[in-house]
Amino acid sequence: MASQLVLFPELVAGFSPELAVNMRSLRFLSRAPYSSTYGFRLPSRRGRTLMCSDLSSQKWNVPVLSSNEVVERLKLAGEGKQFLAMYSSVVGGITTDPAAMVLPLDDHMVHRGHGVFDTAMIINGYLYELDQHLDRILRSASMSKIPLPFDRETIRTILIQTVSVSGCRDGSLRYWLSAGPGDFSLSPSQCPKPALYAIVYPKDFTVERKGVKVVTSSIPIKPPEFATVKSVNYLPNALSQMEAEAKGAFAGIWVDNDGFIAEGPNMNVAFVVNGGKELVMPRFDKVLSGCTAKRMIKLAEQLVSKGMLKSVRVVDMTVEDGKKADEMMLLGSGVLVKPVIQWDEELIADGKEGPITNALLDLLLEDMSSGPPSVRVLVP
């Protein structure tokens, strides 16, 4: 006997979304009440009303695409974006087609945030502080209980080759380690293999020496055990940045639970105090240990030897002390050395960019362009 498929516009508890009925049932349907909104109304044996509709009442607005159509649409969506090369351990290679630079939706990093990342600058064909950033992501992965898909040297080689294939001379290399694809469970127990992803994109490192305003962030800071891990969970960071921009500021500054200055949403903070003779930074045990900030401690020793500074220290510092500083600056691979001239409604010193901040920026720029092999890796 022939069957007819009857479809439900909405799932009804206790009934299947698809119902095959024979000709006798179809005669019964011909006598059942019908509306364009609900379709047929069928009395059930359990005293409930079952609503279904025929195929002609369905309105499908979402197209079903072939793989070729998906690729073409991804190409259109990516127009204007300059992604030069991407490596994925899932496919086991590098692509230069932006439409192919995709992640599996079931990657534990995507749907659970179980992943870590880092970024290295590409300056005139050199990767700046690649090994320092690589050490940090491996440490973050260990703290996040993410096993490595390859050993350190293999990961390093993959990253360098990805930059080489991209042809990028000035830009950024961003890379991720994740628990990998598997399923949508909370635990990564069904993720058979961790994943490595990396992408290269151009970036203009034009230096802006103009001072900026910051505000005290009201967004709760990450707990110390998570703040020291560079994870992909940047929701607090994004909210802090949005709050700062809404107030006309460049960034927000976090204060820890003990009342000491912590860090910005994606940069460290430093101060010049004691009559402009001492460079101080918050301790790194409760904030992310910025590679640029740590390198700056080393570079600042040159200013000590020249007599411009007397010392460089890492200390606990209150907001009140910070606002009374002679100079304030933000440090990070994205901002390099950014002078801060106002915090909330209070000017820092005379509200002008300070000489130590500018001197430190000069040292960093010189280090990026002609520093030792320990901080500059040539891309073949």
| Confidence (pLDDT) at 4 | 43
Query: What CATH number does residue 141 fall under?
Result: 3.30.470.10
pLDDT tens readout for residues 228-242? 999 999 999 999 999
Greater model confidence, 329 or 11? 329
* Residue 75 lies inside a defined structural domain of this protein: yes
161 and 226 both lie in a single domain: no
Q: Which residues contact 3 (CB under 8 A, 6 or more apart)?
A: 20, 21, 22
Can you read off the two tokens belonging to residue 45?
């044996």
The per-residue pLDDT for 242 is 98
Query: How wide is the angle at C-alpha 304 spanned by C-alphas 301 and 310, nearest 5°?
Result: 125
In a domain, 379, yes or no: no
Are 190 and 245 in the same domain? no
Average pLDDT score, the chain? 88
Report if residue 65 sits inside a domain.
no
User: Sorting pLDDT into bands at 50, 70 and 90, what band is 28?
Assistant: low
Of 183, 202, 221, which closes a domain? 202
CB 250 within 8 Å of CB 214? yes
Residues 366 and 222 in one domain: yes
Average pLDDT over residues 56-80: 84
Q: Are 19 and 40 part of one and the same domain?
A: yes
Q: Do 106 and 191 belong together in one domain?
A: yes
Catalytically annotated residue among 59, 81, 222, 230: 230
Do 224 and 194 fall into the same domain?
Answer: no
The mean pLDDT of 195-223, rounded to a whole number, is 94
CB 189, CB 211: distance < 8 Å: no
In a domain, 302, yes or no: yes
Regarding whether 31 and 141 lie in a shared domain, the answer is no
Q: Are residues 335 and 311 in the same domain?
A: yes
pLDDT > 90: percent of the chain: 76
Q: Which of 288, 245, 239 is nearest to 267 (CA)?
A: 288
Rounded-to-integer distance, Cα 314 and Cα 182, Å? 43
Specify if 40 maps to a domain: yes
What is the tally of structural domains in the chain? 3
230 is catalytic: yes
Q: Tell whether 360 and 255 lie within a shared domain.
A: yes
Q: Is residue 62 part of a domain?
A: no
Same domain, 255 and 329: yes
pLDDT tens digits, 57-66: 566 788 899 9
User: Which among 144, 169, 202 is the end of a domain?
Assistant: 202
For residue 341, what are the domain limits? 212-370
Co-location of 151 and 186 in the same domain: yes
Asked whether the beta carbons of 299 and 293 are under 8 A apart, the reply is no
pTM of the model: 0.82
Q: Do the domain assignments include residue 380? A: no
User: What is the per-residue pLDDT for 42?
Assistant: 52
Same structural domain, 191 and 221:
no
User: Average pLDDT for residues 297-312, to the nearest whole number?
Assistant: 97
Q: Is residue 364 part of a domain?
A: yes
What does the alpha-carbon distance between residue 47 and residue 25 come to, in Å, rounded to a whole number? 18
| Pairing mode of beta strands 251-253, 212-216 | parallel
Tokens for 101, please give them. 């630079």
Domain stop point among 202, 236, 262:
202
pLDDT in tens, 113-148: 999 999 999 999 999 999 999 999 999 999 999 999
Q: Read off the pLDDT of each residue in 187-213 and give the average, rounded to a whole number.
A: 94
